A = this chain, B = another copy of it.
Amino acid sequence: MYQATIIITLRTSILDVQGKAVEHGIHSLGMTTVSNVRIGKQVQLEIDAHSDEDAARITDEACRKILANSVMEDYSYTVAKV
């Protein structure tokens, strides 16, 4: 069994409106030294695979086909045997 941890982030060229809203909230609470807030997704999943390569291949396929929007988002992942 393998555990994959995927991080999906909005491309830096795209305005992160959710991040801007959170930044505004943080400033409202007095933490004015915080800037450039960007919000992404973390996906954890388990894969019943025979090898590291097999688990990585399935993780990449899931990212490309359903998890990430390749037009607006970048993704990275790590796969570990558990």
Contacts and interface: CB of A to CB of B under 8 A. Distances in A.
A49 B62 contact: no
A15 interface: no
A23 B43 CA distance: 11
Interface residues of A, number: 32
A14 interface: no
A35 interface: yes
A39 interface: yes
B33 A49 contact: yes
Contacts of A41: 39-42
A66 interface: yes
A45 B40 contact: no
